[in-house]
């Protein structure tokens, strides 16, 4: 790995190389908990913000101005490329699909995604962010996991249990596989375009895979994710697979050829690493609710995550799920500082041979 | 265990004794998927149905008339005893608490529960059901797990993530423990009264414990559940602890002194049994969505659960979560028959020495 000594900590950790401190970023770090984000949103609907490269870039950069985070992640929505595929979609505020997709005809009617034509504003946002970011801060591009997208497309709106999607897998497994293949291929094209525009790591968010038992996860969600991720391997950018509520799925995920597994807050990272085996870095996994603890308690909770992740190189600190809108930004500041300080002390101690 | 040879299969399986067939019952088996239940509901609001012993007993018995289920479970709601403790509650249709409980004063204002005075209709329902059930069909009494009740009390209404409850644990751990203690003691009294009225097994539904990471689960949810269950041990009725989304929590749960662990659909039962150790029976864990599969596929899915549960005595077949309102009752009939037939074939084969 030429030049690896000078990799930013986030990219080094993705490749399980030693780092001067444990890198940290926060899922949904560009978002409603920041007053400056709410300020932008007071002038722009969520849907129009997504399609406006200047505003999307501004919002992406906001948390980086406040906190010494180790990575930026594009402000976007996992449903955006589906609009590019012809899905009639609104945000109320969760994504609502006007005509849920449950038939072969509806699956066939999905257009092929050509990112430069269908979602040029996403690629332009990436270029603007990249131009505005310090070279030492990598930018993460992302897409929704095919199964998670299927959940929204089949159910039509957010749901606690996504019952219609789960019964669709059981009642129409062949159609479900066809839809997942379509989505997997589109997300591969989408992420490749993001990398070409300047994203230096690519993340697939499988937010609802934890609704599946392992056999259905393997057959539907993981098979489709593998299809997406395999198609991206030649790019060379680190690949991150986030699987929410995946405590029972780690043995399945272990076989996936990616660099990093994103882990929700329910599974201790040391146990996850044992189950994943040595070939993967882990990203996570503080409970977003822990940011509501008193400062001293927050340090204890964060320290526990650092300790569990410290068994070997390759830990990127993050929350186990997106940050909540009612979080105090000062708690985020304390968390970022603490993670940097405590892990650099350890890195220093390690270098001194203790 | 005197008389154990003649125990109904459900009670025998709770005690990990050999059974002629794998017993089966269905979480929410008395409910909206049955036309005869909807018929009753067309004349009675949910809230009044809960408080009417004749109707509650009728609805409890309905699924037993249709299917050869191995156990009945009282038709009630986990929030019912909280109304007895003075909580102002409505169903819209999920439970809505008029004044969410987030302060010491609100916790102290909770009344002690005296079941005979505060929820006599529940005990009368149990007596009526017991009188109407064949002797061979045991009746299960139940209560909500203290943490699950806390989720509703603190948040005030159902929520996908129960954020307010989870941040309450982190921001006010002492108050959370006090509230949980109150709830734990009340649920012990409540379940004891149910047993005295005729319930032959007692189940604690910890539906939202899976929102917690293991340390918070141990500190809050499990500690409170242990307080409830320990107080019930002298009764002698089997104790069942259902923990939804508990894949990461099984090592914690292993130390709980109960007879049966109810398992959601995400964790294969053989893996769960390995993690629980030999001292517990398991209950579960077909995905409720599997009832939407074609009949032949449903048999395969159910067979997988039977195989995973068959490693040693002590498997009660169930869904991994409550049955969905849009389920076809004929699918339930097929499932019950298949579980009985396939498992009695195996029991017979075992007796013949193959």
Residue B10 Cα distances to A203, B14, B216, angstroms: 47, 6, 33
**How many angstroms from the chain centroid is the CA of residue B244?**
10
Q: How far is B117 from chain A (nearest CA, A)?
A: 36
Cis bond upstream, residue B222 (ω within 30): no
Q: What are the pLDDT digits (tens) for B167-199?
A: 999 999 999 999 999 999 999 999 999 999 999
| Strand (E) or helix (H) holding A155 | helix A146-155
Catalytic residue among B32, B157, B178, B219: B32
- pLDDT band of B345, cuts 50, 70, 90: confident
| Residues above pLDDT 90, as percent of chain A | 93
Residue of higher predicted confidence among A3 and A328: A328
CB B19 within 8 A of CB B91: no
What is the arithmetic mean of pLDDT over A126-153? 97
- Is the CB of A266 less than 8 angstroms away from the CB of B210? yes
Q: Say which of B163, B170, B271 has its CB closest to residue A293.
A: B170
Q: Tokens for B210?
A: 């899976």
Catalytic site residue from A33, A51, A77, A226: A77
Paired residues of B73 in beta bridges? B140
Residue of A nearest to B212 (CA): A266
Q: Which residues of A touch B268 (CB under 8 A)?
A: 213-214, 248
Contacts with A337 (C-beta within 8 Å, 6 or more apart), sequence order:
A68
Measure the CA–CA gap between A329 and A339, rounded to whole angstroms.
Answer: 16
Residues 6+ apart with CB under 8 A from B18: B12, B313, B347
Predicted local distance difference test score (pLDDT) of residue A256:
97
Catalytic residue, chosen from A16, A51, A118, A152, is A152
pLDDT 10s digits, B69-107:
999 999 999 999 999 999 999 999 899 999 999 999 999
Q: Which of A167, A214, A245 sits opposite B289 (nearest CB)?
A: A167
* Interface test mutation site (partner A, options B32, B247, B302, max chain A beta carbons within 10 A): B247
Q: Which of B33, B37, B152, B242 is catalytic?
A: B152
Q: From the CA of B37, how many Å to the nearest CA of chain A? A: 21
Res. A220: pLDDT tops 60: yes
- Is there a contact between B292 and A324 if contact means CB atoms under 8 Å apart? no
Determine how many CB atoms are found less than 10 A away from the CB of residue A348. Answer: 12
Residue B268 has pLDDT above 70, yes or no: yes
Task: List alpha helices for A198-328, DSSP H.
Answer: 214-216, 223-230, 250-253, 269-276, 295-309
Strand partners, A96: A90
CB A201 within 8 A of CB A157: no
Query: Do the chains contact at B167 and A304, CB–CB below 8 Å?
Result: no
What is residue A345's predicted lDDT score, i.e. its pLDDT? 85
Strand partners, A201: A140
Q: Tally the C-alpha atoms within 13 A of residue B352's C-alpha that lie toward its C-beta.
A: 7
Distance CA B59, CA B30 (A): 6
CA distance A33 to B256: 39
ipTM: 0.93
Cβ neighbours of B40 (radius 10 Å) = 18
Option in A247, A290, A326 nearest B170 (CB): A290
Cβ contact (<8 Å) for A170 and B301?
Answer: yes
Chain A residues near any Cβ of chain B (below 8 Å): 158, 160, 163, 166-167, 169-171, 173, 210, 212-216, 245, 247-248, 265-268, 271, 287, 289-294, 297, 301, 304, 320, 324, 326
pLDDT at A5 over 60: no
Q: Count Cβ atoms within 10 A of the Cβ of residue A261 and give its class: 0-12 exposed, 13-18 middle, 19 or more buried.
A: buried
- Using a CB-CB cut-off of 8 Å, the residues of chain A touching B289 are 163, 166-167, 169-170
Cα gap A282→A24, rounded to integer Å:
12
Closest CA to A234 of A182, A186, A192, A187: A192
For residue A143, the cross-strand partners are A204
d(CA A125, CA A56): 6
Which of B266, B289, B294 shows the shortest C-beta gap to A163? B289
Per residue in B207-242, pLDDT (tens digit) is 999 999 999 999 999 999 999 999 999 999 999 999
Contact B287 A215 (CB under 8 A): no
Residue A160: list chain B partners with CB under 8 A: 158, 160
Distance between B79 CA and the closest CA of chain A, angstroms:
20
Model confidence at A348, pLDDT cuts 50, 70, 90, reads: low
For range B34-55, the mean pLDDT: 96
**Does residue B250 sit in helix, strand or coil?**
helix
What was the pLDDT predicted at A244? 95
DSSP string of A29-88?
Answer: -SSTTSHHHHHHHTTS-HHHHHT-HHHHHHHHHHHHHHS--S-EE----TTHHHHHTT--
DSSP-derived pairing of the beta strands B139-144 and B260-263: unpaired
Length of chain B: 354
Q: Is residue A92 exposed (0-12), middle (13-18) or buried (19+ Cβ within 10 Å)?
A: exposed
Q: Is B77 a catalytic residue?
A: yes
The DSSP H or E segment spanning B346 is helix B329-351
Q: How confident is the model at residue B2 (pLDDT cuts 50, 70, 90)?
A: very low
A218 contacts in chain B (CB < 8 Å): none
Query: pLDDT per residue over B130-178, tens digit each?
Result: 999 999 999 999 999 999 999 999 999 988 889 999 999 999 999 999 9
Is omega for the bond preceding A93 within 30 degrees of 0, making it cis? Answer: yes
Nearest CA in chain A to B289: A167
Query: At residue A160, does pLDDT exceed 90?
Result: no
Q: Which residues of B lie inside 8 Å of A (Cβ-Cβ)? A: 158, 160, 163, 166-167, 169-171, 173, 210, 212-216, 245, 247-248, 265-268, 271, 287, 289-294, 297, 301, 304, 320, 324, 326
Told to judge if A41 belongs to the known catalytic residues of this protein, a careful annotator would answer yes
Q: Is the pLDDT of residue A316 over 80?
A: yes
Give me the domains of chain B, ranges plus CATH numbers: 19-348 (3.20.20.210)
Q: Which of A160, A170, A214 sits opposite B293 (nearest CB)?
A: A170
Q: What is the pTM of this model?
A: 0.95
Q: How far does A324 lie from chain B, in Å, by closest CA?
A: 8
- Does residue A69 have a pLDDT over 60? yes
pLDDT for B353 equals 36
């Amino acid at each position: 790995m030429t030049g690896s000594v000078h990799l930013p900590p986030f990219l080094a950790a993705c490749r399980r190389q030693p780092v001067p401190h444990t890198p940290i970023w926060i899922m949904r770090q560009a978002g409603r908990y920041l007053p400056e984000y709410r300020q932008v949103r007071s002038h722009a609907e969520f849907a129009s913000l997504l399609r406006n490269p200047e505003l999307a870039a501004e919002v992406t950069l906001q948390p980086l101005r406040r906190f010494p985070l180790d990575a930026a992640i594009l402000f976007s929505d996992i449903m955006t490329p589906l609009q590019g595929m012809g899905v009639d979609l609104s945000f109320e505020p969760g994504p609502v699909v006007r005509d849920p997709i449950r038939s072969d005809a509806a699956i066939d009617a999905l257009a092929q995604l050509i990112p430069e034509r269908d979602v040029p504003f996403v690629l332009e946002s990436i270029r603007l962010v990249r131009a505005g970011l310090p070279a030492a801060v990598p930018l993460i591009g992302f897409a929704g996991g095919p199964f998670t997208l299927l959940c929204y497309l089949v159910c039509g709106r957010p749901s606690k249990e996504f019952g219609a999607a789960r019964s669709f897998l059981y009642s129409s497994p062949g159609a479900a596989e066809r839809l997942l293949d379509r989505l997997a291929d589109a997300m591969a094209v989408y992420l490749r375009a993001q990398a070409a525009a300047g994203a230096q790591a690519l993340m697939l968010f499988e937010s609802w895979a934890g609704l599946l038992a392992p056999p259905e996860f393997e057959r539907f969600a993981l098979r489709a994710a593998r299809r997406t991720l395999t198609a991206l391997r030649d790019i060379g950018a680190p690949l991150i697979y986030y699987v929410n509520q995946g405590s029972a799925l780690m043995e399945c995920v272990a076989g996936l050829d990616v660099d990093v597994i994103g882990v929700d807050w329910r599974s201790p990272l040391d146990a996850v690493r044992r189950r994943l085996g040595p070939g993967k870095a882990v990203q996570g996994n503080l409970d977003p609710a822990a940011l509501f603890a008193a400062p001293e308690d927050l340090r204890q909770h964060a320290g526990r995550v650092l300790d569990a992740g410290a068994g070997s190189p390759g830990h990127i600190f993050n929350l186990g799920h997106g940050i909540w809108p009612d979080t105090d930004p000062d708690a985020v500041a304390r968390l970022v500082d603490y993670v940097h300080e405590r892990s650099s002390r350890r890195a220093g101690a390690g270098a001194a041979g203790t």
